Amino acid sequence: MPRPRIRQHVNPLTRKFQQPIALPDWTQIYANLQQPLHLDIGCARGRFTLAIAQAQPEMNFLGLEIREALVTEANDCRDRKKLTNLHYLFCNANVDLKRILRSLPSGVVQWVSIQFPDPWFKKRHTKRRVVQPELVQALADELPSGATIFLQSDVEAVALEMTTLFAEHPRFSLTHSPPWLPENPLPVPTERELATFAKGGAVYRSRFEVRGKSC
């Protein structure tokens, strides 16, 4: 069977991607739904989550991705490896994130990574970037205190924009001296990270801890 054509970019603002997804029954997906969960927003082919889920069986991993064909392939790969701590969900994070977080058991989401998001360089396209004030607010509303947010990009302006949006929110506190985190705290690099280093490029990273909610 020929593989379906996979578009390089999709515009998350088109009508097609505004339809909320049906949420899965998580008890049918994870062997232990009460384990801490790492959410990777914009996981593409999911190679990072596939590797880290094998290295850290004591955690669950959930990759969100707007290109459906990639999600289908990634879940097939997960099934072939018989992993019960990993799932990929086709969704528009800008539409579905809050409902996804609310559907998971309270307090389980301990890590959120947003790694090398599409930069959408043209000024008129910046609204297509995944890190928008509403996405930051959804994380602020739903994450437990002590959770980690990890951001990285090879485009300094994009890294700065995401970092500023989180830094300006009272629920997030930068865990390192500004501007950038010197090392990746995760044991596995993403595909984009490897490609950036192969070209000799720089990576701009930041890390936040979620503060307790004030009354």
Ligand X SMILES: C[S@@+](CC[C@H](N)C(=O)[O-])C[C@H]1O[C@@H](n2cnc3c(N)ncnc32)[C@H](O)[C@@H]1O
Using CA atoms, how far residue 11 sits from 21, 112, 124, 162, in Å, is: 17, 23, 12, 19
Q: How many residues does the chain have?
A: 215
Which residues partner with 173 through β-bridges? 209
Classify strands 109-115 and 37-41 as parallel, antiparallel or unpaired. Answer: parallel
118 catalytic? Reply is yes
Give me the least distance between CB of 131 and ligand X, in Å please. Answer: 10
CA 214 – CA 84 distance, rounded (Å):
36
CA 5 – CA 17 distance, rounded (Å):
18
- Selected catalytic residue, list 40, 96, 118, 154: 118
Nearer to ligand X, 87 or 192 (CB): 192
Give me the least distance between CB of 80 and ligand X, in Å please. Answer: 21
Nearer to ligand X, 127 or 213 (CB): 127
**Residue numbers of the site for ligand X (CB under 6 A)?**
12, 42-44, 64-67, 92-94, 115-118, 130, 190-193
Nearer to ligand X, 66 or 159 (CB): 66
Nearer to ligand X, 42 or 101 (CB): 42
Give me the least distance between CB of 17 and ligand X, in Å please. Answer: 7
Buried b (16+ CB within 10 A) or exposed e, 1-28: eeeeeeeeebebeeeeeeeeeeeeebee
Give me the least distance between CB of 34 and ligand X, in Å please. Answer: 26
Question: Is-contact 117 162, C-beta < 8 A?
Answer: yes
| CB closest to ligand X, residue no | 42
Residues identified as active-site: 118
